[in-house]
Structure 1
């Protein structure tokens, strides 16, 4: 199963870039991983920004991919639950699992209906931090699936 993580906007902070690179290297020991940034939209009304950003995200999704969208209204899972979800996708023959972090105004309603919604927490985090948290949880999921001691 191939993993693709999409997000809107650049990772600007050096510590974020370093953390993303570190977790990406770790994850790639278990599965192919691609990280994709799409350009964020500026200077439009929120609904128009969502629409344009979602169009850019849509172009990065392989046909037939399974989508997991990070959204504040999404389901909350613990780490073993996310690992079980990833394991089920892998074991059922999912070719591409795409995880998507939206822009500052989230996803359009139409895009939100395309995938399963996941919330990392009821708290609000910066989009930069969410990228790191998501990759850490992906890595943790693979260590759980492989009975490795990272998660105990």
Structure 2
């Protein structure tokens, strides 16, 4: 299985980039990981920005990729549940598991309809920049759970 993370806009803060690099490196010990950025839309109405950003994200999804949205409306999962989800996808032969983080105005309904699953990291509102690090850390945590490594404690 290959893992792809898609998000809108460049990572602004150096400390966020450091966190991304740290957890991306850890994840790559388990499977290939590619991180792709879609250009952020600026200066338009919210609906138009959302539409254009989702079009750009859609172009980054490989054919047959299984799309998972990070969305405030998504399913809340525990870390062990995410680990189980990752494991099942790997074991079922998913070639490309694609996680997408939208821009400031989220996803269009059309883009949402393409998703295999939608998950939420928190019921609280989080910045799109920090969600990048949180998602990577949770994916790493998931693989340590799958491999019975001493990182996650219950």
What is the TM-score of this pair, normalised by structure 1? 0.99
Residue 46, structure 1, aligned to residue 25, structure 2: no
Cα deviation for residue 31 of structure 1 reads 0.5
Structure 1 runs of 4+ off > 6 angstroms? none
Q: In the alignment, what sits opposite 1:130? A: 131
Cα deviation for residue 77 of structure 1 reads 0.2
Whole-Å Cα distance in 2 between the matches of residues 30 and 64 of structure 1?
A: 21
Whole-Å Cα distance in 2 between the matches of residues 110 and 23 of structure 1?
A: 31
Whole-Å Cα distance in 2 between the matches of residues 73 and 19 of structure 1?
A: 25
Q: In the alignment, what sits opposite 2:61? A: 61
The number of equivalent residue pairs is 152
Supply the RMSD in Å over aligned alpha carbons: 0.5
Q: In the alignment, what sits opposite 1:26? A: 26
Whole-Å Cα distance in 1 between the matches of residues 106 and 127 of structure 2?
A: 12
Residue 91, structure 1, aligned to residue 91, structure 2: yes
Instruction: Output one character per residue of 1:24-48: Cα deviation in whole Å (capped at 9) or x when no partner.
Output: 0000000100011111101111111
- Where does the alignment leave 5 or more consecutive residues of structure 1 unmatched? none
Cα deviation for residue 100 of structure 1 reads 0.3
Whole-Å Cα distance in 2 between the matches of residues 61 and 37 of structure 1?
A: 12
Whole-Å Cα distance in 1 between the matches of residues 101 and 83 of structure 2?
A: 19
Cα deviation for residue 113 of structure 1 reads 1.0
Whole-Å Cα distance in 2 between the matches of residues 80 and 114 of structure 1?
A: 25
Whole-Å Cα distance in 1 between the matches of residues 142 and 114 of structure 2?
A: 23
Cα deviation for residue 110 of structure 1 reads 0.2
Whole-Å Cα distance in 1 between the matches of residues 35 and 149 of structure 2?
A: 24
Paired residue secondary structure (2:144): helix
- Where does the alignment leave 5 or more consecutive residues of structure 2 unmatched? none
Cα deviation for residue 92 of structure 1 reads 0.1
